[in-house]
Amino acid sequence: MTPQDALLGWDEDANAQAYEAFTRAHSMYDTTSSDLARRAGLDDARLVVDLCGGAGATARAILDRLPADARLLSVDNAAAMQRVGQRTLSDPRLSWITAPAEHLAAHARAGTVDAVLCNSAIWKTQTPAVFGAVARLLRPGGLFAFNIGGGFAGVRHPDEHSVRTGPSLSRLIHQVAARDYGYTPLSTTPAAPKMPLETVTAQLAAAGLTVVDSEVTAQHSTMAEKKAWLSIPVFARPTDGGFTHAQRMDILEAAYALTTPDKPTVTSWLVVVAQRPTDAP
């Protein structure tokens, strides 16, 4: 089945508040954010962009590494997410810009940005346009660090095979929905990955960026954390079938009852670091 993507709903207060609460209570986004911040070479940065920055989970990790006199621009097109972030994250180095990722180049001077980071979102954008905008803003030698969910990149870390036992919570949700509601998914045909490394590399090259590092990583979590993530309205499943949110939560509870809360789960990520060549004009 094609990986499900949460494209809509981010500018709704309920989703924004639930998402931000999740990032505070669980380590999922802290882990991926810290990983990108570590790879982005921020120790001497003067200007950094957190692309698709949402409510600020990645901004927190960036600010932890950013020099005291540097600046961070958090760019996202969902005002609701940014409103939540502004209430919980206050730092004089941080500015919030409400704009689509594709319009990034309008919000900083060309060739002045040391690093751009994008956590858990790049596949939701029009990547050729976004990569072009990033390339225009980065200084020569500047870095662009982002990650892609394993399903969208077509990668699986070996830990997924060695750790996981039994069906995933998402699979159990669909089984319960079929059992209790007669649910039939719109499609069960596997689709080609949306953003494999080969596609990403070619798009980056077309924009004038060079891949300098890529790695398939494994994020270890628990079934309880996965349930909390799927409780956020924008991520609740099944996404098709006309279910109300209350019905989706009932299905989630029934599926979760078939699991063990502390059972380990593994999520794979493709992490990519690209660079504007140092000899770029």
Q: What is the pLDDT of residues 104-158, one digit of tens each?
A: 999 999 999 999 999 999 999 999 999 999 999 999 999 999 999 999 999 999 9
Residue range 174-230, pLDDT digits in tens: 999 999 999 998 766 767 899 999 999 999 999 999 999 999 999 999 999 999 999
In this prediction, residue 1 has a pLDDT band, given cuts at 50, 70 and 90, of very low
3 pLDDT exceeds 90?
A: no
The dihedral over CA atoms of 53, 55, 61, 65, expressed in degrees to the nearest 10, equals 70
In this prediction, residue 9 has a pLDDT band, given cuts at 50, 70 and 90, of confident
| Buried/exposed 135-155: b ≥16 CB within 10 Å, e otherwise | bbbbbeebbbbbbbbbbbbbb
pTM score, whole prediction: 0.93
Rounded CA-CA distance 21/170 in Å is 21
Phi/psi of residue 180, each to 5°?
A: -95, -20
Rounded CA-CA distance 63/91 in Å is 8
**What average pLDDT does range 48-62 have in this prediction?**
97
Query: Which pLDDT does position 186 carry in this prediction?
Result: 79
Q: In what order do the strands lie in the sheet with 113-118?
A: 94-98, 71-76, 47-51, 113-118, 138-149, 264-275, 210-222
Query: Which pLDDT does position 181 carry in this prediction?
Result: 96
Residue 90 neighbours by CB under 8 Å, 6+ apart: none
2 pLDDT exceeds 70?
A: no
166 pLDDT exceeds 90?
A: no
Residue range 61-112, pLDDT digits in tens: 999 999 999 999 999 999 999 999 999 899 999 999 999 999 999 999 999 9
Query: Which pLDDT does position 263 carry in this prediction?
Result: 87
